[in-house]
């Protein structure tokens, strides 16, 4: 395909409730959407970079700048662009994986739409629906946490993930386990908030039969994850640390984790995410699909990815209404704790123009 126009559209979506993690509280999601026009048709991509560089080093304003100044010019300079050629064309630019993922996804969407192939079938999906969990923010009190968890369980979510930090770990986990019983699938996510000194509090979580403990330590501290893995029965899962299939294989061989959270944005795109899925499968390590509070655009692609065979736990692929009053696409609605895998060409969904327009804060159009 020949790339003709790229539109960088910024939107702001209010969250239905504030989302508090160990790195801060958010009441709004600032999303960068990419719309590409090629000689064979159009495609969409969503950049998962957050407003601030607190989850990872990337942030939405930086992603916008690197796309405009480095990534898009390289694609315009190429005589021909396909999804598989995007990563090689951008290879001299280091890092910025979320920005690279967004543009690769938009090109892949255009390519698959042109060939009438769905994301799911292209990526290798083996399921028509995926099991869903929900990520629960740090609450103001244990009572409020129990209330929030109860509402998600009632809605049908098949797994609960509690955000934790030092001082909000053993007590909330004990309370949820005691209230909801041994059959509730329960896991925790620390977003790198612990270190060698506070690690002993994580060992105290071992008695609660958690599915896994996600990213307790710094993203570049594989060793500390290995030490914890050797001290507890509960599985250690990596999120922020896993930036490629090569890093995934390294972390597994070092004994740093026994489960991996796959987020395409964090690893540079859906093609690399499939390679992470495959290398984990080959090494006997299950994966599950993470989430970055995507709109329906990113969510559709995530649900397709989560339908691959080695996705063996419910994902953070929640319904649209977990985060947003009104999604920019047709909303994803939970049915028996599951979401249907889109079957239409490309990601199978598109933004509703009126909703998109109302939420847009800026548009930059770049021509070849
Ligand atoms: C994680 N996601 O697994 C991320 C972190 C994350 C679903 O827990 C606004 C505020 C947007 C906090 C996107 C989930 C966010 C956010 C992602 C946290 O670590
Ligand atoms: Mg995480």
For residue 116, what pLDDT is reported? Answer: 98
For residue 106, what pLDDT is reported? Answer: 98
263 catalytic? Reply is yes
pLDDT category, 69, cuts 50, 70, 90?
very high
Going by CA atoms, what residue is nearest to atom 8 of ligand 1? Answer: 135
Q: Over the stretch 153-184, which tens digit does the pLDDT of each residue have?
A: 999 999 999 999 999 999 999 999 999 999 99
Domains parsed from the chain with CATH numbers: 3-116+350-367 (3.30.390.10), 120-340 (3.20.20.120)
Structure tokens at 27: 């009441």
* Across 207-235, average pLDDT: 98
By the 8 A CB rule, do 143 and 172 touch? no
DSSP H or E run through 150: helix 142-155
pLDDT at 35 over 90: yes
Q: Over the stretch 291-312, which tens digit does the pLDDT of each residue have?
A: 999 999 999 999 999 999 999 9
Q: Give yes or no for residue 237 CB within 6 A of ligand 1.
A: no
For residue 98, what pLDDT is reported? Answer: 99
What's the Cα-to-Cα distance from 131 to each of 9, 281, 306, 339, rounded to whole Å? 31, 19, 9, 7
Residue 289 CA to residue 262 CA, distance in Å, equals: 5
Going by CA atoms, what residue is nearest to atom 7 of ligand 1? Answer: 291
Q: Give yes or no for residue 292 CB within 6 A of ligand 1.
A: yes
Q: Give yes or no for residue 50 CB within 6 A of ligand 1.
A: yes
Q: Which ligand 1 atom lies nearest to the CA of residue 263?
A: 3
Task: Write down the mean pLDDT value for the chain.
Answer: 98
Q: Which ligand 1 atom lies nearest to the CA of residue 23?
A: 12
pLDDT at 201 over 90: yes
Q: Over the stretch 37-47, which tens digit does the pLDDT of each residue have?
A: 999 999 999 99
What ranges make up the beta strands (E) of 168-293? 186-189, 213-214, 236-238, 259-262, 287-289
Q: Which ligand 1 atom lies nearest to the CA of residue 137?
A: 8
From 100, 154, 161, 163, active-site residue: 163
* Across 103-113, average pLDDT: 98
163 catalytic? Reply is yes
For residue 78, what pLDDT is reported? Answer: 96
By the 8 A CB rule, do 169 and 199 touch? no
For residue 241, what pLDDT is reported? Answer: 98
By the 8 A CB rule, do 301 and 119 touch? yes
From 100, 161, 263, 338, active-site residue: 263
Side-chain-facing half-sphere of 229: CA atoms under 13 Å: 22
Q: Over the stretch 274-295, which tens digit does the pLDDT of each residue have?
A: 999 999 999 999 999 999 999 9
pLDDT at 368 over 90: no
For residue 146, what pLDDT is reported? Answer: 98
């Amino acid at each position: 395909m020949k790339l003709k126009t790229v539109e960088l559209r910024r939107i702001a979506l209010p969250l239905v409730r504030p989302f508090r993690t160990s790195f801060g509280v958010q009441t709004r999601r600032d999303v960068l959407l990419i719309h590409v026009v090629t000689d064979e048709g159009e495609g969409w991509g969503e950049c998962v970079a957050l407003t601030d560089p607190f989850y990872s080093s990337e942030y939405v304003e930086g992603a916008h700048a690197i796309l405009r100044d480095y990534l898009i010019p390289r694609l315009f300079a190429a005589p021909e662009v396909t999804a598989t050629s995007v990563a090689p064309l951008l290879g001299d630019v280091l890092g910025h994986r979320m920005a690279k993922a967004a543009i690769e996804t938009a090109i892949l969407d255009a390519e698959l739409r042109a060939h009438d192939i769905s994301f799911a079938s292209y990526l290798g999906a083996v399921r028509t629906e995926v099991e869903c969990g929900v990520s629960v923010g740090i609450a103001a009190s244990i009572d409020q946490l129990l209330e929030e968890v109860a509402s998600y369980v009632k809605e049908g979510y098949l797994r609960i993930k509690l955000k934790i930090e030092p001082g909000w770990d053993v007590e909330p986990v004990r309370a949820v386990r005691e209230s909801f019983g041994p059959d509730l699938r329960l896991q925790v996510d620390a977003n790198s908030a612990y270190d060698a000194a506070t690690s002993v509090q994580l060992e105290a979580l071992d008695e609660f039969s958690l599915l896994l403990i996600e990213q307790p330590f710094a993203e570049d501290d594989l060793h500390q994850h290995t030490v914890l893995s050797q001290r507890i029965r509960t599985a250690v899962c990596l999120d922020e640390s896993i930036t490629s299939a090569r890093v995934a294989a390294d972390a597994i061989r070092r004994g740093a984790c026994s489960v991996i959270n796959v987020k395409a944005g964090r690893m540079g795109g859906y093609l690399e995410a499939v390679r992470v899925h495959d290398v984990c499968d080959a090494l006997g390590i299950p994966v599950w699909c993470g989430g970055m509070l995507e709109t329906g655009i990113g969510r559709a692609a995530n649900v397709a990815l989560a339908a691959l065979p080695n996705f063996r736990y419910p994902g953070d692929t929640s319904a649209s209404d977990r985060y947003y009053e009104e999604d920019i696409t047709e909303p994803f609605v939970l049915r028996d704790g599951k979401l249907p895998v889109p079957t239409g060409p490309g990601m199978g969904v598109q933004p509703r123009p009126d909703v998109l327009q109302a939420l847009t804060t800026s548009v930059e159009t770049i021509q070849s």
